[in-house]
A and B are shown apart, each in its own frame.
Chain A
């Protein structure tokens, strides 16, 4: 399912003294099967954009296209259920939204809400648990007896059980330890590859953006500041630094090394392996030739 935003503007509490412009003139295309990273400071408008992706918010100007649905300002939008089913959002700290008595009931709540029969929903729950790497035994347990990492996986399983075509992840690994972080990120990447799930990752981690995404959109003060592939985005690191954003550690290291040695490498390298072999190669050729 393709999603596109065309010159979208959104104002919170419009027509009140508290009106605040959150995003303006935001355009982006997210063709089916894309892995896009959305980055920017706290307050840059990322979360507002995110809420437009499954019509939780209606733009105050511009158009949002989600599959065959068009969401415009000033129109009454009915029949949004299919949109919400096809675009699953994993909010920050999704485990805070667990509420049912058992893991199974919690996971089937979403699909059943969208009219999936109970037997089918239960089947999906089993599959979703498998996808997030949890054992079936957990189905009968109370979600509140699980560890934090397990709770997060159950919450994610609840979104996967709706069988979305697009999954939106808002800082999905915040608060997890490094192993948990890697497992969750790798899991989403697998789903993206295997099921051609469009994935939109809202993150502060330039490492994750560089490693997983094929498109990066940078938001700044409610506008799109830059769009491109990781190579394009990180090949002008100065620009990012000026925006007060980080660059991946590898890039930062390359810049430091270039500054100290006065030798500029042919391009920006995004992985440790590539950078180290390039440096070794430069050295073996002799730098003072």
Chain B
């Protein structure tokens, strides 16, 4: 059985300065160990969601439960220990003067003893493959490397959930790939639940499950395959369709038959080879 680790029930939120609800009656569960992508256009409410999940804002209506604890002003400090967050801008979240200081920062704040700290800093930097850079200063690092250090800083606190709030959107393609590869590895270890908030559908395609937000509401929820079957609807929502779906459509328009609606690029190549070329 899938175990729910985060649960939203009837959550609504409105910023003081805005008439419209940023989130309106949102309910869903996030399961232990899954990689959930929350996608939506700019202003769809996905970043507000990130703020609520980490208690940076509180809902006006509804409840958020994280690991059996309802998020309130009183429980927030306990909950934050379980939820780590990586933000969009790599330059805004580097607090230490060296890589190792940066990772140690959160641990010092939490009063972790020195010996344990040294161990955790090394261990988490190893997990993001940045252990060669212990004494490097931030301005010597690329955007992708900075984001991996940010992830290490989060990992060192041993959270059960990590939220990536558009953590790859300011990176170049190489940096983006580095960060996603890191997340893939962490997921394989199955110790973490990953929530990635993004509008990059190629990134979302790698998730286990996708939630599509529109105008502050959950528009659709499903596997990447189910979501990408929405096709033109995704474009109407201000999103895009992955390349392999566009390519498949073009092949169909040229009169070729394909077995499934959504295929990854590799599957599409294989399909073309086995059912068309090798005949």
Spell out A's residues near B (CB within 8 Å): 41-43, 145, 147-149, 174-180, 204, 244, 246, 249-250, 252-253, 256-257, 260-261, 263, 272-273, 275-277, 279-280, 283, 287
Contacts and interface: CB of A to CB of B under 8 A. Distances in A.
Interface stretch (B28-36, B99-107, B129-137, B265-273): B265-273
Contacts of A276: 247, 250-251, 253-254
A256 B273 CA distance: 11
A173 to B, nearest CB: 10
7 contacts: A42-B172, A180-B42, A250-B247, A260-B272, A276-B247, A276-B251, A280-B254
Nearest to A207: B243
Contacts, number: 94
A42 B41 contact: no
B272 A261 contact: yes
Given A177-B238, A249-B243, A283-B256, 6 more contacts: A177-B40, A180-B238, A204-B173, A279-B254, A280-B251, A287-B277
B43 A256 contact: no
B172 A41 contact: yes
Contact of B17 (A145, A263, A279): A145
Contacts of A256: 265-266, 269
B255 interface: yes
Q: Which one of A174, A179, A180, A263 has the highest number of Cβ atoms from chain B below 10 Å of its Cβ?
A: A179
Contact of B43 (A147, A263, A280, A287): A147
A277 B255 CA distance: 9
B60 interface: no
B199 interface: yes
Nearest to A179: B238
B277 A177 contact: no
A145 B268 CA distance: 45
